[in-house]
Chain A
């Protein structure tokens, strides 16, 4: 795709256009605002699709239709729900800690949006191109529990507090194996920069290039990140049947809506990280083999045949990495929904046993094997 239009060209063109008519500091601020709004809007559109998808997946897996009243096959159901949530009163209990109660949803939303900063959406399309991208995401995503703990504590409700405490125990333990499986890929790629990790997969995704250990790391990461998102089968923080709604029992209206949104944003971020690390981010599917047919396949995947086409068609190829990025995003999100609507919820002791007795030892052994692979140069 070298001769074709790149995202960096488009961004440079926009930068030039703004610089020609404004002061540099104003250009900087405008670019900052436009870029972050674009990222958040892209994510919110994803969330809208995810909520509809979740309800349909849930319905069909439970032998139901799912929403099918508002609009064609219920596509407008979410908008009706949002209008309902906006019209409802945001009720604060009398005995609640009022400041923390109001701050908690906003804080958890901010934290999960912060994790978007170093995500690479396409070639050259990254908000904050930093050399500690993956470290930043893991650090920020473990802060999400603060919002949940605040909500549980300030509600002054037993259910809410128990849900929040469980969530704390759960996120602290599952951070470990998620982190170790991320470290495995970082060891393979040799960089913490998200763009760099994706570019290191230009000849095949790590899940294929890293042999079986990378595949195990992927499975462990998916399990651990499902737990970090507080999603079933690890939804002990909410646990509808035991704790009514867990940490957001006392929330209503749009404050509840923000927690709901937050869950889906977290899912989105986790899936983006998983696709960046294991499935090559915006890279198309490449085969890591050195045969003639594999090269032909890789050339087709890289849209090499489009180079001879007229320039205006090659604009279409701009969307190609985005198609792969969002395709992988929704594939992993589908996996998480599939887990949620298949598995029953774990008990708190089973949850901690799974992490400390199974996932953590396995991921440590896995990391050692991957380190050996890297040292001996056995990966592709």
Chain B
């Protein structure tokens, strides 16, 4: 008797769970204006809705003083699975005579990038981010190798801790 009860319970439960799924798809079907998430892309090219999280081209963030946060630590280069990042650094001498490594060229090979976002996760300074751009094709492959740091840009100085103590 117990076995029969379990058997019938299993059948009833199966129908309930199937009905749940059917109701969900029916909801999607009868309210297409709410549920459809695909874009009529070439038609709405002027105002496409792209999610903020969309992983497009990598850029190096520059502020209004043409300063970036990249310390040339090459962690993004190490994190990149297909060598699309090359960090070229140079040694400079500061005013107090110390030698310091600074960023010379942040080379980004867009043609090799798979937009996996691992460089963004690896960066300890949050110096780079991914934009929402997706129309990245071009006719000449060499234009896909980009230098992300703007000419004349330099490392953003960290606010001095000692200055705060004096106040």
A residues neighboring B (CB under 8 Å):
57, 60-65, 68, 338-339, 341-343, 358, 362
Contact = CB atoms under 8 A, between A and B. Distances in A.
B26 interface: yes
Contacts of A341: 25
A63 B28 CA distance: 7
A355 to B, nearest CB: 13
B25 A61 contact: yes
B152 interface: no
Interface of B: 11, 18, 21-22, 24-26, 28-29, 32, 35-38, 40
12 contacts: A60-B29, A62-B28, A63-B28, A63-B35, A63-B38, A64-B38, A65-B32, A65-B36, A65-B40, A68-B40, A338-B25, A343-B21
B38 A342 contact: no
B37 A63 contact: yes
A362 B26 CA distance: 27
Contact of B18 (A60, A61, A343, A362): A343
A31 to B, nearest CB: 43
A63 B36 contact: yes
A60 B11 contact: no
B17 to A, nearest CB: 10
Nearest to A358: B11
Nearest to B22: A342
B40 A338 contact: no
Is chain B's interface secondary structure helix, strand, loop, or mixed overall?
helix
Contact of B26 (A68, A338, A358): A338
A341 B25 CA distance: 8
A342 B21 contact: yes
Contacts, number: 36
Contacts of A63: 28, 35-38
Contact of A60 (B24, B35, B40): B35
Contact of B36 (A64, A338, A342, A358): A64
A343 B22 CA distance: 8
A342 B17 CA distance: 12
A57 B32 CA distance: 10
Contacts of A362: 11
A61 B40 contact: no
Contact of B25 (A65, A68, A342): A342
A260 to B, nearest CB: 23
Contact of B32 (A60, A339, A342, A343): A60
A57 B24 CA distance: 13
A339 B23 CA distance: 11
Contacts of B37: 63
B22 A60 contact: no
B22 A61 contact: no
Contacts of A338: 22, 25-26, 29
B48 to A, nearest CB: 15
A65 B32 CA distance: 8
Nearest to B18: A343
A60 B38 contact: no
A60 B26 contact: no
Contacts of A343: 18, 21
Given A61-B25, A65-B38, 13 more contacts: A60-B29, A60-B32, A60-B36, A62-B28, A63-B28, A63-B37, A64-B38, A65-B32, A338-B22, A338-B25, A338-B26, A342-B22, A343-B18
Contacts of A64: 36, 38
A376 to B, nearest CB: 24
Contacts of A68: 40
3 tightest CB-CB pairs across the interface, nearest first? A61-B25, A342-B25, A60-B29
B28 A61 contact: yes
Given A358-B11, A362-B11, A60 B28 contact: yes
Nearest to A57: B29
A78 to B, nearest CB: 20
A195 B29 CA distance: 35
B125 to A, nearest CB: 38
Contacts of A57: 29
A358 B22 CA distance: 20
Contacts of B32: 60, 65
Nearest to B34: A63
